[in-house]
């Protein structure tokens, strides 16, 4: 799963040396302060020699040398909570969990990979500084992701995807897909909603994992919540499968040698890790639009300017209407793009002249171009999918 995402400058973000100046732009410093206020990180335990380093020095460390583990971290209690939820549902299966470079369940391997940075508060801070978020850092979000990845693991452990009824409800698991580019139908009644961005619609495997996660979530009240919807058939099927499995041991088991993208074996430095993450998830990460936003809103703050995010919010409906008309994309897709641009413009503290006559037109043309680019990418992938 992915979330995932990146864009940020390397720099001394959390220096422990008072004599080292923070040379970042004021906007980045304020962003970091705001994010830490919203999601405070627990006090760091004494121990690892790298925990007191500033970000520049810390990023020279290799992942394998961090020697972090689930045991003794906040993750230990969360994994235990996951196992208790499985036991409550009468399941004997317990997916092995390990620290990886991202949230994942390797293809056809029943094991749950958890991002290594969640094993220590200092690494969470670094992840937030470099990526503007640390996926799974709150207990609620972490549990959601654990349930989702467990859905993949249990699917692979019992080879459920081979069943004809599974394929009938969810589709063939062999279908190709890109987790960052898929067609979303937010009002569809055929899918559950667990993770954001209608992730169940990305692929049959994700559809099952999301359905399982909703089924497993305590007090989800799924029977009432999805009554009268097509998604209820999938939930009832999952309920039937889990009761059938009960304490039956899985035919497929994962060994440590199967733990792909294991942080404990990675020789990459943190610096390389972030560079790779930025490259792979640039389009999913909100900072991908920074250069475009700076061209649209180049004016410094002043008495004759207004904040760009307020302008975008005020004219959102008009811009959305034009983008929808010319790019021929659903309104929700245009609205989502405008929302992301507005959020990033706010974080960057961008401005434009008050009463700028052509601003709406310029912004509308730009967003239409971005929407068309995304649409063409989707159509190319769709054609590739159909080509034998």
DSSP string, 236-247: HHHHHHHHHHTT
303 pLDDT above the threshold of 80: yes
Does 344 have pLDDT greater than 60?
yes
Q: What is the pLDDT of residue 293?
A: 86
Q: How confident is the model at residue 276, as a pLDDT?
A: 85
| Residue 269 per-residue DSSP state | B
Work out the percent of the chain whose per-residue pLDDT is above 90: 55
* Contact present, 83 and 134 (Cβ < 8 Å): no
Residue 38 has a pLDDT of 54
Residue 100's φ and ψ, nearest 5 degrees, are -125, -175
pLDDT band at 3 (very low <50, low <70, confident <90, very high): very low
Residue 383's pLDDT is 57
What is the predicted pLDDT for the residue at 273?
Answer: 95
Of 194-198, 216-220, 330-334, 349-353, minimum mean pLDDT range? 330-334
- In the block, which residue shows the tokens 């698991």? 173
Tell me the DSSP string of 4-15. Answer: -------S-SS-
Q: List phi, psi (to 5°) of 136.
A: 90, 15
Among the listed residues 43, 9, 6, 39, the one whose alpha carbon sits nearest the alpha carbon of residue 24: 9
What's the pLDDT band for 298 if we cut at 50, 70, 90? confident
pLDDT at 164 over 90: yes
Question: What is the Cα–Cα distance from 357 to 298, expressed in whole angstroms?
Answer: 16
Cα–Cα distance between 79 and 71 in angstroms, integer? 10
Report, as an integer, the average pLDDT of 199-213: 97
Q: Is the pLDDT of residue 281 over 60?
A: no
DSSP H helices, the chain, are 26-38, 55-58, 63-66, 74-88, 121-131, 139-157, 164-170, 204-216, 222-225, 231-245, 270-280, 290-296, 308-314, 316-327, 331-347, 359-386
What is the rounded average pLDDT for all residues in the chain?
83
Across 217-231, 295-309, 328-342, 360-374, the highest mean pLDDT is recorded for 217-231
Rounded Cα–Cα distance for residues 360 and 16 (Å): 45
Provide the pLDDT for residue 358. 81
pLDDT score for 190 = 96
| pLDDT at 14 exceeding the cut of 80 | no
């Amino acid at each position: 799963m992915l979330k995932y995402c990146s864009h940020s400058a390397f720099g001394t973000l959390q220096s422990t040396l008072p004599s080292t100046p923070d040379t970042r732009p004021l906007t980045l410093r304020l962003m970091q302060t705001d994010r830490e206020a919203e999601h405070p990180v627990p006090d760091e335990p004494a121990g690892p020699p790298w925990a007191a380093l500033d970000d520049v020095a810390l990023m020279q460390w290799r992942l394998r040398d961090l020697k972090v583990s689930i045991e003794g971290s906040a993750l230990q209690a969360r994994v235990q909570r996951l196992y208790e939820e499985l036991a409550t549902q009468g399941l004997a299966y317990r997916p092995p969990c390990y620290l990886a470079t991202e949230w994942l369940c390797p293809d056809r391997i029943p094991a749950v990979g958890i991002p290594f940075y969640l094993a220590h508060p200092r690494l969470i801070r670094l992840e937030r500084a470099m990526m503007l978020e640390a996926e799974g850092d709150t207990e609620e979000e972490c549990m959601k992701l654990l349930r989702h990845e467990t859905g993949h693991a249990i699917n692979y452990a019992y080879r459920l995807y081979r069943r004809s009824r599974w394929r009938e409800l969810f589709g063939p698991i062999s279908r190709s897909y890109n987790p960052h580019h898929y067609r979303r139908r937010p009002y569809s009644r055929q899918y559950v909603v667990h993770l954001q961005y209608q992730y169940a619609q990305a692929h049959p495997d994700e559809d099952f994992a999301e359905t399982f996660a909703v089924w497993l979530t305590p007090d989800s009240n799924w029977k009432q919540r999805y009554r009268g919807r097509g998604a209820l058939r999938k939930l009832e099927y999952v309920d039937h499968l889990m009761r059938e499995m009960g304490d039956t041991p899985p035919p497929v088991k994962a060994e440590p040698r199967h733990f792909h993208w294991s942080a404990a074996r990675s020789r990459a430095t943190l610096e390389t890790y972030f560079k790779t993450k930025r490259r792979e998830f640039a389009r999913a990460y909100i900072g991908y639009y920074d250069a475009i936003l700076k061209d649209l809103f180049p004016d410094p703050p002043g008495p004759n300017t207004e904040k760009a995010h307020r302008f975008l919010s005020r004219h959102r409906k008009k811009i959305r209407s034009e983008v929808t008309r010319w790019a021929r994309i659903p309104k929700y897709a245009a609205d989502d793009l405008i929302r992301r641009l507005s959020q990033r413009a706010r974080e960057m503290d961008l401005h434009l002249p008050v009463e700028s006559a052509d601003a709406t037109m310029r912004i509308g043309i730009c967003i239409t171009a971005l929407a068309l680019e995304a649409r063409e990418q989707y159509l190319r992938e769709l054609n590739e999918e159909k080509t034998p």
